[in-house]
Chain A
Amino acid sequence: MNRTYELMFIVRPDMPEEDQDKLISTLETAATSAGGSVKGVEKMGKRRLAYTVRKFHDGLYILLTVEGAGALIHELERRLRVSEPVIKFLTVRIDEEQKRLEKIQKIRAARRQASLAAAPEQGGEAAAVTA
């Protein structure tokens, strides 16, 4: 049962770059060993937090796109919880939303093609009327 999740977490702002990479690679190995995979890593950089978290006003946001089963997410969240520099995390399931978006785009594309096909006919009629 493979699902796609977005795993966003905030680490403390004074964390060095190499430690971040180390943390990300440990999460990746944990994901692959649990039968999943990390599809993408995005460092969103330093951001101001909307409210103080563990006495921090800023944080480094990191976004992982993970594919795998629920048990994998459970494991990753456990790791994030015990790792000291991580101050907050959020997991969101995105595959259903993606499916919905694709469906809508397909409908829109079909409709656009239909309107394109219909438009020349209407133009022809209009031309016939004016002629």
Chain B
Amino acid sequence: MAEETRTQAAAGEGGGSSGERGGERRGPRGATGPGGREAGRKFFRRKKVCKFCVEKIEAINYKDVRLLAQFVAESGKIVPRRLTGVCTPHQRRLSTAIKQARNIALLPFAGRAS
């Protein structure tokens, strides 16, 4: 829910800034668009799905570094749910697993794993 509204808000802002410069150009594009709200959007955003639900990965273990590394940013931060599309229960398990892995030096607290 929150994710949906946020992306829409972002799209609205982008449209607003371009609209200030060329307000009239938006008319025909809006008419050709599939829907009223969709008109401002530049490109179609695919619905994100939870990797763990789709691939039926139930065990999120701190030892599985290769899996966990997909959800850790270059800086070592845990990637937020709104970017990865992981569902809430799985994100909860994921974050605990990442934190355990950090504790045993499998993943870095900060910076790239070197």
Interface residues of A (CB under 8 A from B): 8, 10, 47-51, 53, 59, 61, 63, 88-90, 92, 97, 101, 104-105, 108
Contacts and interface: CB of A to CB of B under 8 A. Distances in A.
A10 B58 contact: no
Interface of B: 56, 58-59, 62-63, 100, 102-109, 111, 113-114
Contacts of A63: 63
Given A92-B62, A104-B58, A50 B107 contact: yes
Contacts of B107: 50
A89 B109 CA distance: 16
Contact of B105 (A50, A101, A104, A105): A50
A28 to B, nearest CB: 21
Contact residues of A: prevailing secondary structure:
strand
B87 to A, nearest CB: 15
B104 A8 contact: yes
A97 B92 CA distance: 14
Nearest to A52: B105
A111 to B, nearest CB: 12
Contact residues of B: prevailing secondary structure:
loop
Nearest to B112: A50
B105 A53 contact: yes
A50 B58 contact: no
A105 B109 CA distance: 33
Given A10-B105, A59-B105, A88-B105, A50 B62 contact: no
A49 B106 CA distance: 6
Given A48-B114, A50-B113, A92-B100, A101 B106 contact: no
Contacts of B104: 8, 10, 61, 88-90
A5 to B, nearest CB: 13
B71 to A, nearest CB: 15
A101 B63 CA distance: 16
